[in-house]
Amino acid sequence: MSTTDQVRSAIQTAEDGERLSRLIVELQSSGVRINTEFERRPGGAGPSDAGMIWVEGQPLTVPVDAEFVAGTPFSLEAEDTGFGIYRDGTRVASAAPADRPRYYDMSTADGTPYWQIALMHLDSLASTVLQTCAYWGNDDQCHFCGIGVSLDSGNTVKVKRPEHLAEVAVAAKELDGAVDVTLTTGSTYGKDRGALYVGKCGKAVIEASGLPVEVQFEPPEDLTVIDKVADMGINSLGIHVETFDPAVLARIAPPKARTGIERYFEAWEYAVKRFGEGQVTTYVILGMGEDPELIVEGCKRAADIGVYPFIVPLRPVPGSLMSDVTPPSAEYTDRIARQVAPYLIERGLTADKVQAGCARCQACSPLGAIEQSLQLEASGRKLIPVTEAS
């Protein structure tokens, strides 16, 4: 291939990447109407009431059942061979809906269905190991959370046992191609906030399946708990502040506000020393009334100490205290993400380097697609010959 052909190919690839990244932001904001048979994620904690789709090979979770989806211009349509995403009747991308995982038809020896223990999120296995939280049902309840909704629905069990999670992980890997595992937990009243139990579960999963695992928990009172979790062989760690706007944090997550944003930074710095740069992540939810400047500033500060800020648009959970809130506009999410993504690339903290967890998967965030788009654009610029002016 000639240099000219290489340049043309690189430009086209970069343009395609840019179009896809912008489409992903729009789909995550407005959702998709489903006009074909489709495997849905039921309501509750996690990417609730979501459709799980591969769009042009990019993993994506999108709202499909929320009331606001009725007004979306996007639909998923079956085609002669495969599926497509359509905007107002015009095809804009190829799509591949996630199939029902085969391991969902299996049960443990005591009769617990595997799908009540852990769910597949495209190519990632995920579970809330303690489906209760010290903050649920009282004045401390986080407004965006649906952990109790999941439990009340009967779609899960209250406590997942390490040996059961390990058993399910092996099946998910062998039957459905799971590539990593994400384990989170409701917070406990204990000083470790549930970290040691979720770490114990992660260790069992790693030993049985060999899959990389991210565990997620609140900052423990004693930061040496993080050492104990790291010593269990856990690959990645999520400690989620949710927002860098202190006023919003106080309103939507009172216990996190009492912990304080500075304490999160202390915990992250400690964790990065054990897990390494890019292997410690935090959720940053957009669309809760935050000051955008504080969000961008906080994300960059987190990146400076090696923490990956996982930006996601609000996904309202039916039954939560924010069930009536609509996601932020695509323009708003895109504007913030495009201020953060170049900074992450500059710091070498891109999603493709995260070993496990939500930031590895990227299905709920636009960041990974934007990072790829910017990197493709940069590669194209490098191929364009530079000539001196005469």
Report whether pLDDT(327) > 80.
yes
What is the mean predicted confidence (pLDDT) over 218-231? 97
pLDDT of residue 290: 98
Number of separate domains in the chain: 2
Residues 38 and 140 occupy one common structural domain: no
Biggest CA–CA distance in the chain, Å, is: 80
- What is the Cα Rg of the chain in Å? 21
Kindly compute the dihedral angle of the four CA atoms of residues 47, 48, 49, 53, in this order, to the nearest 10 degrees: 20
Q: Of the candidates 96, 131, 162, which is a domain's last residue?
A: 96
Question: For residue 390, is it within any domain?
Answer: no
pLDDT of residue 15: 79
Report whether pLDDT(388) > 60.
no
What is the mean predicted confidence (pLDDT) over 314-326? 86
Q: Of the candidates 96, 121, 150, which is a domain's last residue?
A: 96
Question: For residue 387, is it within any domain?
Answer: no
Neighbours of 292 (CB within 10 A): 13
What is the mean predicted confidence (pLDDT) over 192-199? 97
Q: Are 336 and 243 in contact (CB under 8 A)?
A: no
Question: For residue 389, is it within any domain?
Answer: no
Alpha-carbon gap, residue 181 to 162, rounded angstroms? 13
pLDDT of residue 11: 45
Residues 195 and 78 occupy one common structural domain: no
Residues 221 and 82 occupy one common structural domain: no
Report whether pLDDT(317) > 90.
no
Task: Tell the residue number behind the tokens 């927002």, with chain if given.
Answer: 243
Give residues with Cβ within 8 angstroms of 230, minimum separation 6: 237, 274, 275
Q: What is the CATH number of the domain that holds 343?
A: 3.20.20.70
Question: For residue 41, is it within any domain?
Answer: yes
What is the mean predicted confidence (pLDDT) over 166-177? 98
Neighbours of 49 (CB within 10 A): 21
Residues 156 and 61 occupy one common structural domain: no
Residues 374 and 226 occupy one common structural domain: yes
Residues 37 and 177 occupy one common structural domain: no
Give the sign of the dihedral formed by CA 345, CA 349, CA 355, CA 358.
negative
Alpha-carbon gap, residue 243 to 253, rounded angstroms? 10
Alpha-carbon gap, residue 198 to 365, rounded angstroms? 24
Predicted confidence band of residue 381 (pLDDT cuts 50, 70, 90): low
Q: Are 45 and 147 in contact (CB under 8 A)?
A: yes
Query: Which of the given ranges, 40-49, 190-199, 369-378, has the highest pLDDT on average?
Result: 190-199
Bridge partners of residue 83, in order along the sequence:
78, 95
pLDDT of residue 295: 98
pLDDT of residue 8: 43
Residues 253 and 335 occupy one common structural domain: yes
Residues 370 and 314 occupy one common structural domain: yes
What is the mean predicted confidence (pLDDT) over 229-236? 98
Alpha-carbon gap, residue 306 to 247, rounded angstroms? 25
Tell which residue, 235, 380, 386, 323, has the closest CA to residue 48: 323
pLDDT of residue 49: 61
What is the mean predicted confidence (pLDDT) over 326-339? 95
Residues 68 and 125 occupy one common structural domain: no
Residues 69 and 163 occupy one common structural domain: no
Neighbours of 111 (CB within 10 A): 6
Question: For residue 385, is it within any domain?
Answer: no
> What is the residue range of 49's domain?
3-96
What is the mean predicted confidence (pLDDT) over 274-283? 98
Tell which residue, 187, 188, 276, has the closest CA to residue 234: 276
Task: Tell the residue number behind the tokens 């009747």, with chain if given.
Answer: 89
Question: For residue 339, is it within any domain?
Answer: yes
What is the mean predicted confidence (pLDDT) over 300-311? 98
Residues 59 and 103 occupy one common structural domain: no
**Helix, strand, coil distribution of the chain in percent, nearest 5:** 45, 20, 40
| 169, two tokens | 């992980």
Residues 325 and 199 occupy one common structural domain: yes
More confident residue, 327 or 385: 327
Question: For residue 388, is it within any domain?
Answer: no
pLDDT of residue 7: 42
Predicted confidence band of residue 84 (pLDDT cuts 50, 70, 90): very high
Q: Of the candidates 75, 96, 117, which is a domain's last residue?
A: 96
| 384, two tokens | 């364009």
